[in-house]
Amino acid sequence: NAGVTQTPKFQVLKTGQSMTLQCAQDMNHEYMSWYRQDPGMGLRLIHYSVGAGITDQGEVPNGYNVSRSTTEDFPLRLLSAAPSQTSVYFCASSYDIYEGVYGYTFGSGTRLTVV
Amino acid sequence: DQQVKQNSPSLSVQEGRISILNCDYTNSMFDYFLWYKKYPAEGPTFLISISSIKDKNEDGRFTVFLNKSAKHLSLHIVPSQPGDSAVYFCAAIIMTTDSWGKLQFGAGTQVVVTP
């Protein structure tokens, strides 16, 4: 199993550009989420989804959009990149809420730099 | 306002000795606490968890202790090995369907195990 796959691994954007960070899982997990990791802040939740067609906001949703058209994919869209969005982004998934207490499966991350 | 805090950004320990990582939290509603381990350029991986109704959970070299009255938990690694050198994140979650995916993370502690 590939687990949770994130692409690209690295990206440099200019301020104002848009892009989509891809996340795909092949474990038939219903629950998927996006976190960003910043120095001194740990990981903070951006958006999450409890199943296809259902998404909701996390702690730091501003500047990001998500959609969940299939169980496998959960892309994160930056509409107009800002330097404050420079971060490492992680996608995570789990089969259900209860499996979550045994740990979510994280992707290897996308390092984004906005100049 | 961060509800989960790791006040030690780094810890250096000799191989074979005990590593003790600390974590404090402010929300008494948390149902589960988790520890994640993260190597550079990889996503976090689940290490161990503990329910709020327990005070200790052990898995091999890793033991987590929970002191609810003090809102404090700690991770003990005995004996420490060079492969334990990583960033360790403390996380907590309230187990309702509304809160899935809303892991609250601490800022992390960088552990370095020296020969």
d(CA B57, CA B59): 7
Look at strands B109-114 and B10-14 and give their pairing: parallel
Cβ–Cβ below 8 Å for A90 and B89: no
Contacts of B46 in chain A (CB under 8 A): 102-104
Q: What's the average model confidence in pLDDT over B2-15? A: 95
Residue B99 DSSP one-character state: G
List, for chain A, all residue ranges whose pLDDT scores fall below the cut of 70. Answer: 1, 97-102
Minimum-distance CB partner of B107 among A41, A101, A103: A41
- Segment B43-74, tens digit of pLDDT: 999 999 999 999 999 999 999 999 999 999 99
Closest CA to B106 of B58, B61, B72: B72
- Segment B74-109, tens digit of pLDDT: 999 999 999 999 999 999 988 876 766 678 999 999
pLDDT score at B96: 76
Torsion angle, alpha carbons of B59, B63, B66, B67, to 10: 150
